[in-house]
């Protein structure tokens, strides 16, 4: 598919992120488990996937070669906080796996090499001009910076996880979607993160999201349980 | 645990129902998958489980012998609509597996033997007076009938699935919880079904639920996806 066709195939639709990690104690974390999650998402009508690490991406891509894959590779480098596809060899690998979309940290933070994440994103786009590049950002400024670097997709993934956006921890920042839609109108906009209910999803679309990525609320039964358990503890 | 201790161990808490079925195309449906769901629920803080069929119950019970299990056995008999643990040999099996709670259809409908479901529930309770029996009902009248038959727990499981309650298909009937709490105050009350968000769970507790059973919204990624996909189709 051409880049534009890929974007049109996900417009107005739901992408499911399949990203269990053993680190968190999540019983669902192997490539086989992630494939079962992807199968469930596919049967439920998802238009594509987001997955982390080559083994998980491969397992899903093999089963669903026709569906767009947003590939990421979380790599923690020392105590640096930029960890979503943070260096070129990770980008090279994701491109070589055939990911229709490669997502990178696009925040205004320096990576382990002292380079701003959005700057490195620009380098990746220059190296792979035909590859759809998705910028995981947290603020309007970062969205603007990444758009200038050639990002094809802006995504609110990091909102709530950076120093500047920490007030949005656990809640979806719908205003950020509206701001990006208004100030960076030409770039495909994805709402990712903190979508828990259909009401949230509706608000995200109404705030300007061209597509929505949902992960935890669909593919992480441990975290979903935890959320209900926390509520029960509060009520009683 | 004594019956009362079992009830106190689930009071004000979340029970997770692990019930994938292959029939619906659900990729998660084997006992191994159900155990992974139960592990996730346990790690998320669930206080107990609900599971269907002996193999699924056994897999979970073996891993978590200390947690209350609500056992059911869905058996469709011809075109009869009563299918949750509908006859005595199913009850016998669930009791023998060590289910702390055995749930049965408690509606005002006739089973395949021409007996009202609530009436058969009474027989099961008479045969196993020390066994906690849970009545899956749809209306206040059925709650009252089952309470008179000795049900230890009343649960709104069937609301939305019977002719009389079909207007509640897909939505939680919080008024039913309030009505049962008021008219049948002595019996432990569970809200089961159609709890999708923490807001729903809060309202269920506030409406009088002593505990909540959540299934699909936690353990059925296919159905959760479907719900978001349906919303996206409506919005766009």
Please give the structure tokens belonging to residue A22. 């053993």
- Looking at the complex, report in whole angstroms how far the Cα of residue A35 sits from the nearest Cα belonging to chain B: 10
Q: Region A136-142: what's the mean pLDDT?
A: 98
Task: Output the six-digit token pair for A143.
Answer: 């969205």
Mean pLDDT score across all residues of chain A: 97
The answer, yes or no, to whether residue A34 has pLDDT greater than 90, is yes
The two beta strands, B14-18 and A48-52, are unpaired
Q: Stretch B105-131: mean pLDDT, rounded?
A: 98
pLDDT at site B42: 98
pLDDT in tens, B213-232: 999 999 999 999 999 999 99
How close B228 gets to chain A, by Cα (Å)? 6
> Is residue A202 classed as helix, strand or coil in its secondary structure?
helix
Contacts of B214 in chain A (CB under 8 A): 225, 228
Chain A, nearest residue to B36 by Cα? A27
User: CA B163 to CA B154: how far, in whole Å?
Assistant: 19
Phi and psi angles of residue B56, each rounded to the nearest 5 degrees, phi first? -65, -40
What pLDDT shows up at residue A23? 87
Please give the Cα distance from B201 to B213 (Å, whole number).
10
pLDDT of amino acid B20: 86
DSSP H helices in A44-173: 54-63, 88-96, 117-127, 140-148
User: Is a pLDDT exceeding 80 seen at residue B66?
Assistant: yes
For B167-216, the pLDDT digits (tens) are: 999 899 999 999 999 999 999 999 999 999 999 999 999 999 999 999 99
Cβ contact B40–A26 (<8 Å): yes
Using CA atoms, how far apart are residues A44 and A37, in angstroms rounded to an integer? 10
Residue B48 pLDDT greater than 80, yes or no: yes
| Tally of CB atoms within 10 A around A189 | 21
Give the separation between CA A55 and CA A43, rounded to whole angstroms. Answer: 22
Residue owning tokens 């990178």: A104
Confidence of residue A1 (pLDDT cuts 50, 70, 90): confident
Residue A113 DSSP one-character state: T
- Beta carbons of A36 and B33 less than 8 Å apart: yes
**Bridge pairing between strands A14-18 and A211-214:** parallel
> Would you say residue A17 has pLDDT above 80?
yes
**Structural domains in chain A?**
3-228 (3.20.20.70)
Cβ proximity of A41 and A16 under 8 Å: yes
For residues A63 and B175, give the distance between their C-alpha atoms in angstroms, rounded to a whole number. Answer: 45
**Which residues of chain B neighbour A15 with C-beta distances below 8 Å?**
none
The whole-angstrom separation of Cα B101 and Cα B68 is 7
Chain A contact set for B229 (CB, 8 A): 13-14, 44-46
Residue A120 pLDDT exceeds 80: yes
Residue of B nearest to A205 (CA): B235
Residues 6+ apart with CB under 8 A from A210: A7, A10, A11, A12, A188, A189, A190
Residues of A in contact with B228 (CB under 8 A): 14, 44, 195, 198, 201, 212, 214, 218
3-state SS of chain B is: CCHHHHHHHHCCCEEEEECCCHHHCCCCCCHHHHHHHHHHHHHCCCCEEEEECHHHHHHHHHHCCCCCEEEECECCCCCCCCCECCCHHHHHHHHHCCCCEEEEECCCCECCCCCEHHHHHHHHHHHCCCCEEEEECCCHHHHHHHHHCCCCEEEHHHCCCCHHHHHHCCCCCHHHHHHHHHHCCCCEEEEECCCCCHHHHHHHHHCCCCEEEECHHHHCHHHHHHHHHHHHHHHC
The pLDDT of residue B22 is 85
Q: Which of A14, A36, A206 sits opposite B28 (nearest CB)?
A: A36
Calculate how close chain A gets to B234, using CA atoms only, in Å: 9
CB contact at 8 A, A135 and A116: no
The answer to whether B36 and B16 are in contact (CB under 8 A) is no
CB contact under 8 A, A198 and B196: yes
Q: Do B43 and A25 touch (CB under 8 A)?
A: yes
User: How far B33 CA sits from the closest chain A CA (Å)?
Assistant: 9
Using the Cα atoms of residue B147, residue B150, residue B156 and residue B160 in order, give the sign of their dihedral.
Answer: negative
Cβ atoms of A201 and B228 within 8 Å: the answer is yes
- CB-CB neighbours of B206 under 10 Å: 12
CA angle B103, B108, B112 (to 5 degrees): 75
Which single residue is written with the structure tokens 């230890």? B152
């Amino acid at each position: 598919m051409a880049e534009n066709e890929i974007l049109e195939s996900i417009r107005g639709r739901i992408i499911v992120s399949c990203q269990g990690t053993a680190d968190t104690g999540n019983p669902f974390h192997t490539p086989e488990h992630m494939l079962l999650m992807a199968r469930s998402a596919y049967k439920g009508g998802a238009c594509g996937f987001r997955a982390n690490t080559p083994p998980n991406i491969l397992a899903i891509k093999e089963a669903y070669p026709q569906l767009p894959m947003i590939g990421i590779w979380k790599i923690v480098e020392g105590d640096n906080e930029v960890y979503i596809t943070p260096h070129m060899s990770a980008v090279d690998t994701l491109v070589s796996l055939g990911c229709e979309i490669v997502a990178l940290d696009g925040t205004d933070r320096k990576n382990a090499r002292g380079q701003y994440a959005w700057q490195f994103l620009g380098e990746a786009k220059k190296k792979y001009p035909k590859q759809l590049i998705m910028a995981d950002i947290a603020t309007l400024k970062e969205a603007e910076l990444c758009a200038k670097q050639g990002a094809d997709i802006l995504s609110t993934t990091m909102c709530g996880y950076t120093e500047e956006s920490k007030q949005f921890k656990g809640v979806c920042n719908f205003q950020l979607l509206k701001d990006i839609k208004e100030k960076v109108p030409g770039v495909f906009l994805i709402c990712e993160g903190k979508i828990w209910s259909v009401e949230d999803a509706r608000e995200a679309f109404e705030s300007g999201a061209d597509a929505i990525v949902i992960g935890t609320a669909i593919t992480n039964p441990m975290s979903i349980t935890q959320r209900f358990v926390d509520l029960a503890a509060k009520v009683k």
